[in-house]
Amino acid sequence: MIPVKGYDGQVVAVLGLGRSGLSAARSLRAGGAVPVCWDDTPAAREKAEAEGFEVRDLGRDGGFDDVTCLTVSPGIPHLYPAPNPVIARAWAAGVPVDNDIGLFFQSLGTETWDDFDTIPKVVAVTGSNGKSTTAALIHHILVASGRETQLAGNIGRGVLDIDPPGNGGVVVLELSSYQTDLARALTPDVAVFTNLSPDHLDRHGGLGGYFAAKRRLFAEGGPDRAVIGVDENEGRYLVNQLSAGRGDDRVIRVSSGQKLSGPGWDVFARKGFLTEWRKGKQVAAIDLRQVKGLPGAHNHQNACAAYAACRTLGLAPRQIEAAFHSFAGLPHRSQIVAEVGGVTYVNDSKATNVDSALKALLAFDRIRWICGGLQKEGGLEALTPGFDHVVKAYVIGREATQFSLGLQGLDAEICTDMATAVARAAAEAQPGETVLLAPAAASFDQYDNFEKRGEDFIDKVQGLMR
C-alpha cells in the first residue's frame, strides 16, 4: 500500500467505492487522513462501513463543511456530459477535486529514497488502443530481465494498492483518459502515448477534449523521456510540442508502417521488422514476424513503444528481444484461444471500437469474423480496408440486423448470440482460416463488459473440443 501524504488529521471525502475508491480510502487512512465515503449503491456503502469508514451523504447540505479534498473514482463524470451533483457541490464549496492517480504521484516518493543507489521510476502508458498490451509488455520485459517491477492503474492492481518500490524498482502504469483528465499530480519519469482514435467522446466533450485528457500526462509533469506514436496527427503535434529541436532525444518517435529518419531517436516497424535509429545510425533490429504473442501491425506498434520505453530504462536490445518471444499476450486482445482442425480461434473482444477492430482484421488473412454489439458513433465505414481479409461475417448483438447494414460488400449472417455465431463459423471454416472475435462495438447490450463477452467466446470455442 502507498499511504497518502499531505492530509494528516484532515477530512478527505471519497466518492465512488469500487476498487479504486476503497483503495484510496484505505491509503488515506494509512497516511493519517480521515476518510468520509459515499456511493449511490447501498451495497458499496455497507462494504465501506464494514471496514470502519464513515459513510456520509455528500450530496446533502453541509456535506463538505469540514472536507479538505474530494477524491473521485474514474467512472464518475466530472464535466461532460454533465458534472456529477456531488462534484458540483465540491466546486461550490471550494473543495479541490482529485483522483487516486493524483494521490499516488503526490505520495510515492519517501525520505527512504535518499538511501537508494538507484531511485525508483514510473513508466505511464496512455493512448486509445494498445495501452494495456504495451504496459503489460513493458512489465513482462522488466520481469524477464530481472528488474523489480509492478504493474498497476487501469490494469493489474490499483495504483495505491502496490507496494512501495525498492531500490531501482519500476512501476508501470496503464492510464485511461478518465484517470489522466482529473489527476492533480502527473509526474512519470517515462510517459508513453500509443495512438489516438475517437472514443469516450461524450465523456470529454468531443475529440479535442479526449486528446487534451491524454496530453495532460505529458504537459503537467514534464517526463524525463516521452515515447510518442506518430501515426496520427495528434502524436506528431505532441512530438512538436515536447521537442526542443530535431535532435532532441528526450522524445522517442514510434511508428508502425513508416520509416522514420532524422538526428533524433526513432523506433519503427516495417514489414515485420522493428528497427531502432539514434543520431542518424541504426542501433538494433528485431524480427517480429515469429513473435506469436504480438501478431499484426497494431501489436508491432505496441512492441515499438514497449521497446523504446525499456531502452530508456537501460535494457539492451537482446534482452528485450528475448522477452518478446516469451510474451503470451493479454486476454481478450488478439488472444489465440485454440487451433481446431487447422482453424485458429482468436479472441479480440477488447476491439470495442472501429479503429481497434480494423487493426485486428488487418492482422490475419481469411477471417471468419464475429462482430456486432452496441454500436458507437461514427458508423462502420472505416472498417472497409479490412474487408478484403474477411471471408464472411457473423453478426451478434440485439441490433445485429442494423449493424450488418454497415458491412456493405461482405457476406454477413445474422446470428444474434455468441453460441450461434461460433457454431456457424466453425461449421463453415476451412483449414488455414481464422475465426476472429473483433466486435467493433461495446458489449453492454448483451454482456456486463468486454471480458464477459470474450469469456463467452472462449467457452463456446472450448465446447467445440469437448
Which range among 15-24, 51-60, 289-298, 383-392 shows the weakest confidence by mean pLDDT? 289-298
Tell which wins on pLDDT, 138 or 298.
Answer: 138
User: What confidence score (pLDDT) does residue 136 get?
Assistant: 96
- pLDDT of 192: 98
pLDDT exceeds cutoff 90 at 329:
no
Half-sphere exposure of 288 (CA within 13 A, CB side): 28
- pLDDT over threshold 90, residue 152: yes
Which residues are annotated as part of the binding site for ATP?
A: 127-133
Confidence of residue 241 (pLDDT cuts 50, 70, 90): very high
pLDDT per position as a tens digit, 199-217: 888 999 999 999 999 999 9
CA-CA distances (angstroms) from residue 84 to 81, 90, 276, 308, 453? 9, 10, 46, 39, 29
3-state secondary structure (DSSP) of residue 293:
coil
Residues near 415 by Cβ (< 8 Å), separated by ≥ 6? 370, 394, 395, 396, 400, 421, 424
pLDDT at 77: 93
152: cell is 498497476
Q: Which domains does the chain have, with CATH numbers?
A: 11-98 (3.40.50.720), 103-325 (3.40.1190.10), 335-463 (3.90.190.20)
Contact 26, 12 (CB under 8 A): no
Tens-place pLDDT, residues 165-187: 999 999 999 999 999 999 999 99
* Average pLDDT rounded to a whole number, residues 127-146: 95
**What is the reported pLDDT for 328?**
83
Q: Compute the distance between CA of residue 90 and CA of residue 85 in angstroms, rounded to an integer.
A: 9
- pLDDT of residue 466 exceeding 80: no
- Average the pLDDT over 62-68 and give the result: 96
- Mean pLDDT, rounded, of the chain: 95
Q: How confident is the model at residue 292 (pLDDT cuts 50, 70, 90)?
A: confident
Name the pLDDT band for 83 (thresholds 50, 70, 90): very high
- Which residues fall in the annotated binding site? 127-133
Q: Can you give the pLDDT at residue 247?
A: 87
Query: Would strands 11-15 and 335-340 be described as parallel, antiparallel, or unpaired?
Result: unpaired
- Percent of the chain having pLDDT more than 70? 100
Which of 3-7, 349-353, 454-458 is predicted least confidently? 349-353
Lowest mean pLDDT across 26-35, 315-324, 357-366: 357-366
What per-residue confidence (pLDDT) applies to 28?
98
Beta pairing partners, 238: none
Tell me what the mean pLDDT of segment 262-280 comes to.
Answer: 95
Q: How sure is the predictor about 198, in pLDDT bands with cuts at 50, 70 and 90?
A: confident
Model pLDDT for residues 99-135, shown as the tens digit of each residue: 999 999 999 998 889 999 999 999 999 999 889 999 9
Q: What residues contact 413, with CB distance under 8 A and at least 6 apart?
A: 392, 393, 394, 395, 424
Q: Which residue has the higher pLDDT, 90 or 295?
A: 90
pLDDT tier at 82, thresholds 50, 70, 90: very high
Range 60-68 average pLDDT? 96
Distance (Å) of CA 6 to CA 3, 317, 337, 374: 10, 41, 47, 43
pLDDT digit string (tens) for 367-407?
A: 999 999 999 878 899 999 999 999 999 999 999 999 999 99
Q: What is the pLDDT of residue 296?
A: 87
Tens of pLDDT along 408-464? 999 999 999 999 999 999 999 999 999 999 999 999 999 999 999 999 999 999 999
Strand partners, 191: 124, 226
If you search the block for the grid coordinates 477488447, which residue do you land on? Answer: 350
Cα–Cα distance, 78 to 85 (Å, whole number): 9
